[in-house]
Amino acid sequence: MTLDSIAYQSFIYMSLLFTILLGLGVLVVIIIYIIDVKQKQHTIRRNYPVIGRFRYWFEHLGEFFRQYFFAMDREELPFNRAERSWVYRAAKDVNRTIAFGSTRDLTEPGTVLFMNSAFPTLEEDITVADPLVIGEGCSTPYHAKSFFNISGMSFGALSKPAIQALSKGAAKAGCWLNTGEGGLSQYHLEGGCDLVMQIGTAKYGVRDEHGKLSDEKLKKLAQLDQIKMFEVKLSQGAKPGKGGILPAHKVTEEISEIRGIPVGQASISPNGHPEIKSPEQLLEFINHIRRVTGKPVGFKAVIGDALWLLQLFERIREQGEASAPDFITIDSADGGTGAAPQPLMDYMGLTIKESLPWVVNALEEYKLRQRIKVIVSGKLITPSRVAWALCVGADFVVSGRGFMFALGCIQAMQCNKNTCPTGVTTHDKKLQKGLVPMNKAERVANYHHAIEHDVGMIAHSCGVSDPRKLNHSHIRVVQQNGYSIPVKEL
């Protein structure tokens, strides 16, 4: 057979293959056309068969195109590119400096400005603060080393390798890791870090067969040296007034065993604790857990209606300081990493911009500021935001999404599904393989170190030797006219 005949034969085969593929393509289009015309659910597809499908495809891709091509560095929500970029660089321990001036509008109303001192703290004057004690009256108080820690994120909402990386990273960093309301797993423990055991409304990890609080399980947990404190969760930033939501497709056999719920059935926590319906009952619940465990106990809440908190402080005044919670965790209405109804995520509760100063002032008014430590969370992922919280009166700052970014989160907005592309919030083994716990643990520790270092840098520029010495006098807030005023005047 000559070369010409071989070439001709190949051409015939290729033409035949192309004709078959073209025919199949036309057949597929015809089938899709018939399906679209006959279906009654989607108006666009019924009126514009086949091509109408592109609308949904473009809508899906638009979210990603906006993030990478169209949004400016300071435009995106919930976290813009400048914020995420800083966290990524910090986690990778690479250069965090920028050039040619800030891209931030420093005259926008609400902008916080730190007041630099004419005589900044010199290196030889820098001090390292002693650990801050939480629960001094407890038989086992907690000496907390770091002012920056990891917020509550459950195993279930987060994947196994994500929890492993956070546990190992927290141990390297010397900070605590909050378990979230999903109960204690072996993955929380394996890194050897300090843990805060959260007790949600469903009592996962501390419930008996009837779903009530189990003193026996509390005692067992209290025997673990890694568990330093217990946090009663009343509400959270993603969904104030509603309990936790773990979609059915994320309830695996392992998670069902830890939580004591059926496999493949959505985990919907009650929107409140049946035992807690008043400030008096909240104090009783906290003091009961403290008596059983001997460890510090506090509560977490988003501040909305504030009358109950004043009533709580009144009851403490009547019963004595010993009855007070050891800490209060204030969550911001714009917080939250998990699944939540949009009306609650968008409109319910106060942000920490309002609630943190109010709570600190109320504690001072009732002379409880020294007794009750203040922990705060809610979009505090950069040094400036953390330093602001310390200035306003927080003793500790906790972050969830900041540490998720350190793990590799790209803000794909898939947390409520099982499709997280970085393996952080999915139980799909194929997607989890990209998240290597030992590698990401280093990034968690790097990010924590960068926050502590850069918050210290802000503090030293303000003329104080330690971040915990930051106060109201070190910040001003820009007003509508573009000029700033001291935060105390607000």
Backbone phi, psi, residue 95, to 5°: -55, 125
10 falls in which pLDDT band (50, 70, 90)?
confident
- 3-state SS assignment for residue 228: strand
Answer yes or no: are the C-beta atoms of 434 and 426 closer than 8 Å: no
Residue 199: half-sphere exposure toward Cβ, Cα within 13 Å: 27
445 falls in which pLDDT band (50, 70, 90)?
very high
> For position 416, what pLDDT does the model report?
74
The pTM of the full predicted model, rounded to 2 decimals, is: 0.86
Mean pLDDT, the chain, whole residue set: 88
- Sign of the C-alpha dihedral computed for residues 340, 343, 346 and 347 taken in this order: negative
Q: Where are the chain's structural domains?
A: 3-70, 123-489
Report which residue type is found at 393: G
Q: Average of pLDDT values for 318-329?
A: 96
Q: Which of 312, 311, 314, 310 is nearest to 298 (CA)?
A: 312
With a pLDDT cut of 90, the percent of the chain lying above it is: 51
Q: In Å, how far are 15, 249, 280, 291, 312 from 138, measured between CA atoms?
A: 83, 41, 20, 9, 20
Q: Which of 296, 373, 292 is nearest to 135 (CA)?
A: 296
Close Cβ partners of 341 (under 8 Å, ≥ 6 residues apart):
239, 242
Q: Average of pLDDT values for 74-80?
A: 70
75 falls in which pLDDT band (50, 70, 90)?
low
221-241 confidence digits (pLDDT tens) = 999 999 999 999 998 877 777
Q: Which residue has the tokens 């010495």?
A: 469
Number of alpha helices (DSSP H) and beta strands (DSSP E) in the chain? 16, 15
Tokens of 301: 């809440």
Answer yes or no: are the C-beta atoms of 217 and 193 closer than 8 Å: no
pLDDT of residue 68 exceeding 80, the answer is no
Distance CA 372, CA 301 (A): 14
Q: Give kind and range of the element (H or E) at residue 149.
A: strand 148-150
Q: Average of pLDDT values for 388-411?
A: 92
- 3-state SS assignment for residue 301: strand
395 falls in which pLDDT band (50, 70, 90)?
very high
> For position 144, what pLDDT does the model report?
96
Q: Average of pLDDT values for 19-48?
A: 85
Topology, domain 123-489: TIM Barrel (3.20.20)
For the chain, what's the residue count? 490
Spacing of C-alpha 201 from chain mean position = 19
Q: Which residue has the tokens 């830890």?
A: 258
pLDDT of residue 14 exceeding 80, the answer is yes
Query: Could you tell me which residue, 487 or 339, shows the higher pLDDT?
Result: 487
Q: Which of 196, 250, 191 is nearest to 437 (CA)?
A: 191
Q: Pseudo-torsion of CA 282, 287, 288, 293, nearest 10°?
A: 130
Distance CA 263, CA 256 (A): 5
